[in-house]
Amino acid sequence: MSITAQPSRNGVDTATLFATLDAVKGQNEIAKFQFRAQNNWVSGTHSRSTISGFYGATQEMAHKHETVLDSDHPEVLVGKDNAPTPVEYVLHALASCLTAGIANIAAARGVTLTKVSSTVEGDIDLLGILGLSDGAVRNGYQGVRVTFHIEGDADDETLRGIVEQSRRRSAVYDVLTNPTPVSVDVVTG
């Protein structure tokens, strides 16, 4: 018999999740985060980013592990295919953001999930980035489709509602579907 239960569902510590929500309600400043990446060009279309530090909860923080990520273009696009393309990383970001939300929201709603998998497809016409369309074709994805397979101890409607709520609260879904201000500054020499 323990007095302080530690409810965990879907690998989500729901007690801490709700406590975090309460803490942020009490001090909105905790919610201001800044994430960062540092990238170095390697050769050709190959570059490498490191991800480590970030700001959040009113202080400088760091991930437990620094992560190194490479990008390249495939050979058919005159790269060396050392790594995924930048636009494929965007698809991973979208899938993983929606999936994290699904696990949290399901836990908060008392639903135990047994499976969440997804496929993401993004269609892109390279006439845009190659500058061969006179501006008629955009540079980025013309459309992105995510398909989730989700299983758990809830009915169809409840499971669909969890995915929908995750979409409504997803940072990456927002960044893709709505305009985000991006500045590009240059220091030379």
Footprint on residues 133-172 left by its own copies (CB under 8 A): 138-151, 156, 159-160, 163-164, 167, 169-172
Report the nearest approach of its own copies to the CB of residue 3 (Å): 22
Contacts of its own copies in 82-101 (CB under 8 A): 83-101
Site string for its own copies, 35-74 (x = CB under 8 A): xxxxxxxxxxxxx-x-x--x-xx---x-xxx-x-x-xxxx
Angle at which helices 86-108 and 156-169 cross, to 10°:
120
21-46 burial, b for 16+ CB within 10 Å, e for fewer?
eeeeeeeeeeeeeeeeeeeeeeeebb
Shorter beta-carbon distance to its own copies: residue 1 or 64: 64
The Cα 16–Cα 108 span in angstroms is: 11
Residues 6+ away with beta carbon under 8 Å from 38 = 49, 50, 51
Q: Is 186 in the site for its own copies (CB under 8 A)?
A: yes
Q: Which helix (H) or strand (E) segment is 24 a member of?
A: helix 14-26
Out of 4, 125, 134, 136, which residue is the one contacting its own copies (CB under 8 A)? 125
| Smaller CB separation from its own copies, 1 or 79 | 79
Nearer to its own copies among residue 1 and residue 28 (C-beta): 28
